Amino acid sequence: MPPKPQLILNPGREKSLQRRHPWIFAGAVSSISGEPQPGDTVELISARGEFLAQAAYSPQSQIRARVWTWDRDESVDSSFLRTRLERSIQSRSLLQSYGDAVRLVHAESDGLPGIVVDSYRDVIVLQCLTWGAERWRDVLVEAITDLCKPATLYERSDVDVRALEGLPERAGLLAGSPLSGRVQVREHGLKFLVDLLAGHKTGFYLDQRTNRLLAQQLSANREVLDCFSYTGAFAAHALQGGASKVTLVEDSRDALGIAGENLALNGLPESKAEFIGGNAFQVLRNFRDEARQFDMVILDPPKFAPTRATAERAARGYKDINLLALKLLRPGGILLTFSCSGGVDAALFQKIVAGAALDAGVHARILQRLSQGADHPVALNFPEGEYLKGLVLEVA
Ligand code: SAH
């Protein structure tokens, strides 16, 4: 066998790998031996010549390589990927009670960098985010088809992070029968329509599942504002939990349309729901000006800061909406506030929210800290895998 291409690191840059962090940044690479093509497996070698890991090469991304294995003798091939997939899928069997929409593969945290696999009943959606994933796409399709036997395997690699890799966006049928558009899934006994063709992410915000159950438990007799509602999953849970009224705010008309259908599908009273299409920043200001009040506010905005570099601008956005939300709460009211920004960690998020409370002149306490569901695990050697942060606050 010809020698594998190698990335030789700068002195000292082996440290994060020795702690088993699976990324190597462009600035850590001193030289390249051989001519690796995008997605090829390369060996990572320290400045002193020691083998560190085998990784997928991404020539354009700032994350220049992502580790497949720490073992020099393991071959990264179709059976390697199949074994990793199988292990990841099997680990989800503990989560059957979750319903029939589950993340089967959560990328780095499942030892499969750049690869996301979500299951919606008999449909599986694959997302390839990096060159390493792209290189093995056909193998992944074959292995998933074989292991899960889905009626449909669909690709939703139409995500902007692929641009960082120099990869075009792509979506379409990979195997099985064509998708008619929507599937119906269950979550905590409720039914939801998921638009797999055009919905956000792979169609549904699976990561919020356990937090939606909590919202249900907290919402009895409360007037609830579900801000950034998407297809109304929090709102439906709140009504199911006995909310006296829910107000949904969302700027995607399509999502809001499905939200209405989702409430109807569950026989939840439409008379208790108010749908507001528009920019949440403006709607929150209007509510403040109208002195509207709620007993519970859910803030689940999109990613304001994908990277650390954009954290400052994002912080202003988070502070703005949290300040407004806190002002809308009646005494004893509850705020469920989230950030899914990779660039804002839990400590910073808490600081931003504390600043918002101070400026709002509100005394609030943290009742609980929230994160993503168990099908979005966080490998201890990859803290970046924990991207969703949430706080349950009670206003005095
Ligand atoms: N809570 C939802 C997920 C919310 S994701 C759930 O559990 O399913 C964030 C949502 O915010 C997306 O649906 C997006 O369309 C919407 N959004 C983004 N920017 C917005 C804005 N400025 N005003 C209102 N909605 C916005």
pLDDT (tens digit per residue) in 326-365: 999 999 999 999 999 988 999 999 999 999 999 999 999 9
CB-ligand 1 contact for 205 (6 Å cutoff): yes
Contact 247/214 with Cβ under 8 angstroms?
Answer: no
In the chain, residues under CATH classification 2.30.130.10 are: 6-69
230 lines ligand 1 (CB under 6 A): yes
Helix axes 311-328, 346-360, angle to 10 degrees: 40
Mean pLDDT over the full length of the chain? 96
**Coil, strand or helix at 201:** coil
pLDDT in tens, 150-192: 999 999 999 999 999 999 999 999 999 998 879 999 999 999 9
C-alpha to C-alpha distance for 55 and 273, rounded to whole angstroms: 50
Q: State pLDDT tens for residues 121-154.
A: 999 999 999 999 999 999 999 999 999 999 999 9
- Residue 226 Cα to ligand 1 middle (Å): 10
Q: Please, where in the chain does CATH 3.30.750.80 lie?
A: 78-183
In a mutational test of the pocket of ligand 1, which residue from 205, 224, 230, 297 has the highest number of ligand atoms less than 8 Å from its CB? 230
Pocket test for ligand 1, best of 200, 250, 258, 286 (most atoms within 8 A of CB): 250
- Residue pair 82/89 in contact by the 8 Å Cβ criterion: no
CA-closest residue to ligand 1 atom 18: 302
10 CA to middle of ligand 1, Å? Answer: 42
Is the shortest distance between the CB of 334 and ligand 1 below 6 Å?
A: no
Give the distance (Å) from ligand 1 centre to CA of residue 208.
Answer: 13
For residues 369-377, give the mean pLDDT: 96
Contact present, 85 and 140 (Cβ < 8 Å) = yes
What pLDDT, on the 0 to 100 scale, is given for residue 95?
A: 66
- The token pair at 315 is 């912080």
The CB of 252 under 6 Å from ligand 1? The reply is yes
Q: Quick one: pLDDT at residue 331?
A: 96
**Ligand 1 center to 269 CA (angstroms):** 23
Cα–Cα distance between 223 and 277 in angstroms, integer?
Answer: 19
Q: Is 320 in the pocket of ligand 1 (CB under 6 A)?
A: no
For 284-334, the pLDDT digits (tens) are 999 999 999 999 999 999 999 777 778 888 999 999 999 999 999 999 999
pLDDT in tens, 53-81: 999 999 999 999 999 999 999 999 999 99
pTM here is 0.96
Which CATH number applies to 78-183? Answer: 3.30.750.80
Residue entry with tokens 């993503």: 372
For the question of residue 340 being annotated catalytic, the response is yes
Q: Which two tokens stand for residue 33?
A: 């031996």
In this structure, the dihedral spanned by the alpha carbons of residues 4, 8, 14 and 18, taken in order and rounded to 10 degrees, is 10
Q: Which of 128, 148, 227, 340 is catalytic?
A: 340
Start and end residues for every CATH 3.40.50.150 domain found in the chain: 205-395
Alpha helices for the chain (secondary structure H): 15-18, 78-91, 131-135, 137-148, 161-165, 209-218, 233-240, 253-265, 280-289, 311-328, 346-360
Read off the amino acid at residue 145.
Answer: T
| Domain 6-69: CATH architecture, name and number where available | Roll (2.30)
Retrieve residue 214's tokens.
Answer: 């909590």
The residue whose CA has the least distance to atom 7 of ligand 1 is 233
CATH class belonging to 205-395: alpha beta
CA 301 to ligand 1: nearest atom: 9
Q: What is the Cα–Cα distance from 117 to 141, expressed in whole angstroms? A: 11
Whether 304 lines ligand 1, by a CB cut-off of 6 Å, is: no
- Distance, CA 41 to ligand 1 centroid (Å)? 37
49-57 long-range Cβ contacts below 8 angstroms, 24+ apart: 50/14, 52/9, 52/14, 52/17, 52/18, 53/17, 53/22, 54/4, 55/7, 55/22, 55/24, 55/132, 56/113, 56/114, 56/130, 56/131, 56/132, 56/133, 56/135, 57/5, 57/7, 57/131, 57/132
Residue-level pLDDT at 98:
66
Sequence-distant (≥ 6) Cβ neighbours of residue 140 within 8 angstroms = 81, 85, 115, 126, 128, 133
